[in-house]
Chain A
Amino acid sequence: MAEKITLTVNQVPYTIEIEGWEHLIDVLRDEIGLTGTKRGCDDLSCGACTVLMNGEAVKSCQVLAKRASGADVVTIEALAQGTKLHPIQEALIESGAVQCGFCIPGIVMGLHGLFRKKLDATEAEIADTLENHLCRCTGYEAIFEGAKLAQKKLKAR
Chain B
Amino acid sequence: MSLKYVGKNITRPDAVQKATGKARFLADIKLPGMLYAAILRPGHAHARIVSIDTSEAEKCEGVVKVITGKGCSQKYRYGDNIRDFVPMADEKVRYIGEPLAAVIAKNPHQAKEALKKITVQVHPLPVYTQATDALADGATLIHEASGDYWHLPGVGPKPGTNIATHYRLKKGDAAKGFAESDVVVEAEFKYPFGSCAAIEPHGSIVWFHEDGMIEIWSSSICPFIIREEVARVYDRPESDVRVHIPEVGGCFGYKSDITVEQTVAYIASFVPGHPVKWVATRKEDFTSTLLGHGMVIRMKIGAKKDGKLMALATTVYHSTGAYADTGLHVSIAAAHNSTGAYEYPNCDLETFLTYTNTPPIGAWRGYGHPEAQFAQERLIEILARKLGMDRFALREKNYLGPGKITSLGEHLWETNGSIQKCVDVVKRTVFDKPRPPEDPEYYYGRGFAAIMKSPKGAPFSSKGAYLKFNADGSVVINCGGAEVGQGLRNVVRLVAAETLKMPPERIHVYTEIDTQFSPWEWQTIGSMFTKQGGRAVWRACLKAIAQMKQTASQVLRCDVDLLDYDGEYVFLASDPSVKVEVTKLVRGYMYENGMVVGEVVQACADARLPRYSGFDPATGQGSMGVSYTFGAQAAEIRIEKKTGKIIVDHFASCFDVGRVIQPQQIRGQVTGGVVMTVGAALCEEVRFDQDGKCVNPLFRKYRFPTIKDAPKKQTVDFVETPGVIGPYGARGIGEHPVIGPPPAILNAIHDATGIDFFEIPVTPEKMKKALDEKGSGGEK
Q: Write the residues of chain A forming the contact surface with B, with a CB cutoff of 8 angstroms.
A: 19, 21, 29, 33-46, 48, 75-77, 79-80, 85, 89, 92-94, 96-105, 108, 127, 130-131, 133-144
Contacts of A98 in B (CB 8 A): 12, 14-15, 18-19
- B307 CB within 8 Å of chain A: no
CB of B245 to closest CB in A, whole Å: 13
- B250 CB within 8 Å of chain A: yes
Complex interface bits, B662-705 against A, C-beta within 8 A gives 1, otherwise 0? 00110110111111100000000000000000000011100011
State A35–B281 Cα separation when bound (angstroms).
17
A89 touches B199 (CB 8 A): no
A141 touches B199 (CB 8 A): no
Question: What are 10 A-B interface contacts by the 8 Å CB criterion?
Answer: A42-B282, A44-B700, A75-B21, A85-B19, A96-B9, A101-B247, A127-B707, A135-B199, A136-B199, A140-B671
- B201 CB within 8 Å of chain A: yes
Q: Write the residues of chain B forming the contact surface with A, with a CB cutoff of 8 angstroms.
A: 9, 11-12, 14-25, 27-28, 30, 109, 196-201, 247-252, 281-283, 484-487, 664-665, 667-668, 670-676, 698-700, 704-708, 710, 714
Which of A43, A137, A143 has the largest number of chain B CB atoms within 10 A? Answer: A137
**Given known contacts A43-B698, A76-B21, A143-B707, is B664 in contact with A96 (CB within 8 Å)?**
yes
State A143–B672 Cα separation when bound (angstroms).
11
A139 touches B671 (CB 8 A): yes
- Interface residues of A: mostly helix, strand, loop or mixed? loop
Contacts of A137 in B (CB 8 A): 250, 485, 668, 672
Closest to B197 in A: A136
Closest to A34 in B: B21
B18 touches A45 (CB 8 A): no
B20 touches A85 (CB 8 A): yes
Closest to A146 in B: B19
A102 touches B199 (CB 8 A): yes
A102 touches B698 (CB 8 A): no
Per CB-CB distance, the 4 closest pairs between chain A and chain B, nearest first, are: A36-B21, A101-B18, A100-B485, A102-B249
A136 touches B11 (CB 8 A): no
CB of B417 to closest CB in A, whole Å: 23
**Given known contacts A35-B27, A45-B700, A99-B485, is B672 in contact with A104 (CB within 8 Å)?**
no
A40 touches B671 (CB 8 A): no
Which of A33, A39, A79, A101 has the largest number of chain B CB atoms within 10 A? Answer: A101
Other than the known A38-B27, A41-B282, what 11 A-B pairs have Cβ atoms closer than 8 Å?
Answer: A35-B24, A38-B199, A92-B19, A93-B15, A101-B485, A130-B707, A136-B199, A138-B672, A139-B670, A140-B705, A140-B706
A89 touches B668 (CB 8 A): no
A134 touches B199 (CB 8 A): yes
A134 touches B250 (CB 8 A): no
**Given known contacts A43-B698, A105-B21, A138-B668, is B15 in contact with A100 (CB within 8 Å)?**
no
B699 touches A102 (CB 8 A): no
B714 touches A40 (CB 8 A): no
CB of A105 to closest CB in B, whole Å: 4
State A139–B738 Cα separation when bound (angstroms).
11
Which of A37, A93, A96 has the largest number of chain B CB atoms within 10 A? Answer: A96
Closest to B23 in A: A101
A100 touches B200 (CB 8 A): yes
- Interface residues of B: mostly helix, strand, loop or mixed? loop
Contacts of B109 in A (CB 8 A): 19, 21
B676 touches A136 (CB 8 A): yes
A37 touches B21 (CB 8 A): yes
State A76–B250 Cα separation when bound (angstroms).
20
Closest to A106 in B: B199
Closest to B281 in A: A42
A139 touches B199 (CB 8 A): no
Contacts of B487 in A (CB 8 A): 99
A38 touches B699 (CB 8 A): no
Q: Choose from B252, B671, B698, B704 the contact partner of A141 (Cβ within 8 Å).
A: B671
**Given known contacts A99-B668, A100-B200, A134-B199, is B282 in contact with A140 (CB within 8 Å)?**
no
Contacts of A46 in B (CB 8 A): 199, 699
Q: Choose from B17, B283, B710 the contact partner of A140 (Cβ within 8 Å).
A: B710
State A102–B700 Cα separation when bound (angstroms).
18
State A19–B409 Cα separation when bound (angstroms).
64
**Given known contacts A42-B283, A143-B707, is B199 in contact with A103 (CB within 8 Å)?**
yes
State A128–B669 Cα separation when bound (angstroms).
24
State A44–B701 Cα separation when bound (angstroms).
12
State A59–B534 Cα separation when bound (angstroms).
40
CB of B326 to closest CB in A, whole Å: 20
B698 touches A45 (CB 8 A): yes
State A54–B44 Cα separation when bound (angstroms).
45
A40 touches B201 (CB 8 A): yes
State A146–B459 Cα separation when bound (angstroms).
42
Contacts of B673 in A (CB 8 A): 139
Contacts of A127 in B (CB 8 A): 707-708
State A142–B281 Cα separation when bound (angstroms).
28
Contacts of A75 in B (CB 8 A): 21
B706 touches A141 (CB 8 A): no
CB of B307 to closest CB in A, whole Å: 35
State A135–B672 Cα separation when bound (angstroms).
9
**Given known contacts A41-B282, A100-B484, A139-B673, is B708 in contact with A131 (CB within 8 Å)?**
yes
A140 touches B675 (CB 8 A): yes
Closest to A76 in B: B21
A142 touches B249 (CB 8 A): no
B198 touches A100 (CB 8 A): yes
Contacts of B675 in A (CB 8 A): 138-140
Closest to B485 in A: A100
Q: Choose from A40, A44, A139, A140 the contact partner of B200 (Cβ within 8 Å).
A: A40
State A93–B672 Cα separation when bound (angstroms).
16
State A85–B20 Cα separation when bound (angstroms).
8
